[in-house]
Structure 1
């Protein structure tokens, strides 16, 4: 059943990517229903796959493949919730391609790969907040890249030719800072819950993750403070956001890769 759902989700995501690409190449109104239906089926079967995978492993094996699967689902849900807005359509092929990769990775990874964790309410809360924060901040990073792309088009005066499919620059920038604010808030809760419920956050096995997470958290907060206080925006905010996002990736998936792949 899991294999069938994974395959159905992959096929649906692929169809949604193709339909979205055709919409950019043809009329802006072409294939809206096809995009909506294929996207909805893809996300629905993706979420069902997660439920079955976690149930099969007794909710104890949050290995790298499983966490990528969850993050990809959250990103897809966030994207789908934006409907057919231009900025969502522009990112949809990227997010859905990442979702396809995560589904393929789960398909070839043993369900019980990686170290088992102790299922406790506090630890579960920390993991859930961490995955949610990572997903929101990853989406913010994607919107920051979209800002760079739109700025480049405007400077090269190519935006007019694609104006029907391009979102307003200010709309993207405002949503980027909203995501950054919410994501940083959730990351704060995740870090606090870690210190409350995870045993010894500065132990040798946790030191790398904790240190980089704190540096990333400080960097995200620094961006927001300067933005709301001094009006920081544009390319400097984007570059610093991408650096902080890279630190967060290294914090979480650097340790995960070593533990689940190299040491497994």
Structure 2
């Protein structure tokens, strides 16, 4: 399967010589690295040997380094103007890996790591089989670049917050069913997860605020026909995230209602960003 995917790179990207060889090698390293890291993490649940942790660290580090280089090569080929769905998925997954790995060996980050690494692997497979010129080119004006950068970071942080909300739900279910004691050595403290979740939600909402403001400042018309639904859905997600934070910090609300509305807001944000890109980059292309 991997050979079949990589064999399409020449046709999809029309790269030859040095660049073709480099992208093929880097994609292979990253995809295999994430896959092996997930496999080793699965084995680590039944063994706490240090050599197993070193294997996870080595494979995931190699995968992330190759992942970043792949993104740089893809974007440099288009002068950093072609942010299609595949490219943005790769960037967001790389940011998620960086955010997760930066937490080190904390139990709450390790619990999510297999999911994030698998998402990164899938995003690279999608990038490998997506034509480079798919989607519409962006202007390279500094203001637009700032807006795109803020949007990608906000999406990544809020996606990570959504994953932590699912982890909170899982831990709450274990505690209610009195099954957490048997897994206590593997599970993170509930309050630690909750505290980090709200921190991510606050930071992500703040960055999303800046992203929306920069859109109104630097884009020509946020309510143009091609941008209208994206703008409306982004604002709806932003309002929902802010309402969650207000009821939490002001009224002390936590638990299941917060988790449900976080997932709803995250789904709206996904529709805002990837709904239009799916139509434009996949269906229309």
TM superposition score normalised by structure 2: 0.91
Deviations 1:161-199 (A, max 9, x none): 111110000000000000000000000000000000011
User: 5+ unaligned residues in a row in structure 1: which ranges?
Assistant: none
Aligned to 1:147, the other structure's residue is in SS state helix
User: 5+ unaligned residues in a row in structure 2: which ranges?
Assistant: 1-21
Length, aligned pairs only: 264
Give the corresponding residue for 2:162.
141
1:238 equivalenced with 2:259 (yes/no): yes
Aligned to 1:31, the other structure's residue is in SS state helix
* Contact 1:28–1:165 (CA under 8 A) maintained in structure 2: no
Give the corresponding residue for 2:137.
116
Deviation at 1:33, TM superposition (A): 1.3
Q: CA RMSD in A?
A: 1.0
Distance in 1, matches of 2:268 and 2:154, equals 14
* Contact 1:23–1:30 (CA under 8 A) maintained in structure 2: no
Distance in 1, matches of 2:25 and 2:78, equals 18
Deviations 1:126-157 (A, max 9, x none): 00000000000000000000000111111112
Range with greater deviation from structure 2 (178-187 or 117-126): 117-126
1:91 equivalenced with 2:100 (yes/no): no
TM superposition score normalised by structure 1: 0.98
Deviation at 1:25, TM superposition (A): 2.1
Which of the numbers 144, 157, 166 marks the counterpart of 2:187? 166
Aligned to 1:59, the other structure's residue is in SS state coil
Which of the numbers 43, 53, 78 marks the counterpart of 1:32? 53
* Contact 1:16–1:34 (CA under 8 A) maintained in structure 2: yes
Give the corresponding residue for 1:65.
86
Range with greater deviation from structure 2 (39-48 or 240-249): 39-48
Range with greater deviation from structure 2 (157-166 or 170-179): 157-166
Give the corresponding residue for 2:198.
177
Which of the numbers 142, 146, 171 marks the counterpart of 1:150? 171
Give the corresponding residue for 1:194.
215
Distance in 1, matches of 2:30 and 2:177, equals 38
Aligned to 1:165, the other structure's residue is in SS state coil
